[in-house]
Amino acid sequence: MSRFVIVTAAVLGLALGAAGSAQAADAKEVFDFYCAQCHGVKGDGKGVNVTKDFATDPRNFTNKEDMAKRTDEDIKTVIRDGGPA
């Protein structure tokens, strides 16, 4: 299972709480609204709001080597508290 899938599931799980199957249908909307603007709809860091003036590049969730460096706790913290914006 790729880290992107894990990260996406964690983001959506925290955003929706204990989501039932009806709420899971809204998961894509939550990711698109809060995350995809910078991280891109594919999680590749190429969101529509990314410009060369960003202080930091949005994380590319599809980069397996980079994501392998992140602990589960690191990922949870960024999802819960946010990252550089």
Give residue 30's pLDDT band: very low, low, confident or very high (50, 70, 90).
Answer: confident
- Identify the pLDDT of residue 18: 54
CB within 8 A of 14, min separation 6: which ones? 76, 79, 80
Contact 32, 11 (CB under 8 A): no
Mean pLDDT for the chain overall = 81
The pTM (predicted TM-score) of the whole model is 0.62
pLDDT digits (tens, 9 = 90+) for 33-57: 888 999 999 999 999 988 888 888 8
Rounded-to-10 torsion of CA 65, 42, 39, 53 = 100
